[in-house]
Every structure is written in C-alpha cells, then in structure tokens.
Amino acid sequence: MTHDDLDRVLSHEEGILPSSSFATSVMDAVRQEAAAPTPIRFPWMRALPGLVATGLAFAWAFLILFKMTRAAAQFSATEARVLALSLPTDIQPTWITLAVLVTAASLAVSVRFASGRS
Amino acid sequence: MQPSRIQIGRTVKDVSVSASQDQADVEKVLAGDISGFDGIVRRWQSPLINLAYRFCRDRGRAEEMAQEAFLRAYRALNQWRKDAAFSTWLFALATNLYRSELRRIPAKMVALEDIAEHISEPRDSRDWDGGLEDRSRDDAIRRAVFALPAKYREVLVVFYFHGRDVTATAQSLSLPEGTVKARLSRGREILRRKLPQLLITLRWREKEA
C-alpha cells in the first residue's frame, strides 16, 4: 500500500445527499433565532460601583495583612503566636457583621435587578 | 436507512460559487433580511453535511451537526472579517464545531485490528454486485482512517475533504501548515503499517465466504 493508493482511495470517497427538508429546517431554526429577543447585556455601568468597592476592599485587606505581617516580624515567635490568637477575638465580630451586611446588600441589589425595578 | 450517495471527491473545488454571491448574501442578512441566509444554506449544505459525515459516519448526526454549524455561522456572521473567503471562514467554524462535538460525544470507534470483522459484514446488497474486492478494500481503508487517534484522523479527514489542499486544511483546523504536514505524514505511516495485515485478513475472509 503506497501513499498514492491511499490518496486515490481517500480522495474518491462517495458522499451523501442532504435530505430534502434540510435547508427548510435550517431556515426555520434561523428564523426562530432571529425572532428570539436579544440576550440582555451585562449591566457593566451599574455593576461598576460594586466592582470598584470590591477592588478597594481587597486592596484594604491586603494592606492590613501587610501591616500585620510587618508588625508580627517585630515580636518574638511566642509573642507573635499570642498576638495571632488574640487578634481574631477582636476582629471577628466586625468582619462577620460586615460580611452579613455586604451579602444582604448584594442580595437586595440582585433581586432588584432581576425583578426589573431599577 | 442507507444514505443516498453522490460523488463528492472534489467537493469544494467543484462547487462553483462566486465569493461575491456569498458576500452579497451576508450583507443582506446583516442588513436584516434573513432570506439571504437561505442562499448560503443551499450553496453550502452539501459540503457541510459531507464534512460532518466524514467526521462521524452517521447521516442523522451529520445533518444535526451541519444545522448547528449553520446556526453558529448565522449568529457569528458579523465576525466574518472578509480578509478570507466566506467559505474558508465557514469551514473553519464548522470543523471546529464538529471536532468539539466529537470530543463531547465520540463517534462509535472501531479498533484498527477489528476492522476486518466489520468489513466482512455486507452493509448493502449493492456492495456484492461485482467489484467486491475493491469496494471492501477501499471501505477497510476508510474505516482504518476512522480508527486513527483523533489528531491524525481529523487532519486526514479534512485534508482529503479539501481535495488534498494543505493550506485549506490548515485554515480549517486553525493549525500551522507544518503541523498539518507532520500529522498527515504520521497518520499515513500508521495506516501503511497497519493496513497490509488488515487487508490480508480481509482477503482471507473473502475467500472463505
């Protein structure tokens, strides 16, 4: 079996005829597609304040983390451990409250957008 | 049901379609007249269905995949940048779709070693009207292509569909021409290595029958 034999056989393959209703069926699908309402675009302008706020929150969190890391470097290992254990008790309620508020706010905004009231 | 057959050996080159006709139809559709798309469908339905058929060997599925390709082309019509022929863009879109469809739901595969078993079964009474050996051998070769690993099979299918045009194959598959040539060479080499044994088995089975 040479390359030429392969070429000859594979080049002369018989094809199939489209069924008689194929073009009609494609055009029906295209018409349906054209009649369907255009998909709603993502409201970038409305989402922008939220995105900016999220970015700022992340930047703030990184800043705090950076400061804490630098502060921890000034203490001995034992002091750092004590500090790390004591910090969450002060911070947790604040963060939990903030997280709940952010969740509630995003939920309210989503429901408002979804119900079409803007 | 046995599909009705036509010779499409030089499908793309034989379809004498002027690029301006395609362009006019596309502009019509983009201007809001959907009927322009009917011309595109009628001109390209046969090549697109046949390309799909070569990928999946199932007439029903080939038509479904071709219909999806036309729908995607309709949705993305404004993305055709006219720097290439409309047919090039359409074939690239369809080939890409067919490849992902077959990755999602693979066609029924037959191992190279098992092809003789399948060929010995007559699929159509017309297959036994003379020219039996040639038909069986050619069928075995085509099925052997189908049993190749996907990356070689895809290149061989598209290459022979485009009348052995490496550039068109590379454009359809969005691959560099060098990669197409390398895969063609490797795919043919695998076929050449496996086919003699396959054909001996086949000949032996025919004598037995």
Place B171 in a pLDDT band, splitting at 50, 70 and 90: very high
Nearest to A16 among B5, B75, B164 (CB): B5
Can you tell me which residue has the tokens 């022929």?
A: B85
Q: Is A110 part of any domain?
A: yes
Place B112 in a pLDDT band, splitting at 50, 70 and 90: low
CATH code (residue B24): 1.10.1740.10
Same domain (yes/no): B100, B116: no
Q: Is the ipTM of this complex over 0.95?
A: no
Output the pLDDT for position B81. Answer: 86
Which of A10, A11, A17, A25 would best serve as a mutation to test chain B binding (most B beta carbons within 10 A)?
A: A10
Q: How many domains does chain A have?
A: 1
Question: Does the distance separating the beta carbons of A16 and B4 come in below 8 Å?
Answer: yes
Spans of chain A below 70 pLDDT: 1, 80, 83-91, 116-118
CB of B112 within 8 A of CB of B83?
no
Q: Is A4 left (phi over 0), alpha (psi -120 to 50) or beta?
A: alpha
Q: pLDDT tens across B39-85, in order?
A: 999 999 999 999 999 998 899 999 999 999 999 999 999 999 888 89
Rounded Cα distance between B36 and B48, Å, is 18
What residues of chain B lie within 8 A of the CB of A9, using their CB? Answer: 137-138, 141-142
Q: How many domains does chain B have?
A: 2
Cα dihedral: B121, B126, B127, B131 (round 10): 150
Is pLDDT above 60 for B127?
no
CA distance B137 to chain A (A): 9
Question: Does the distance separating the beta carbons of A10 and B8 come in below 8 Å?
Answer: no
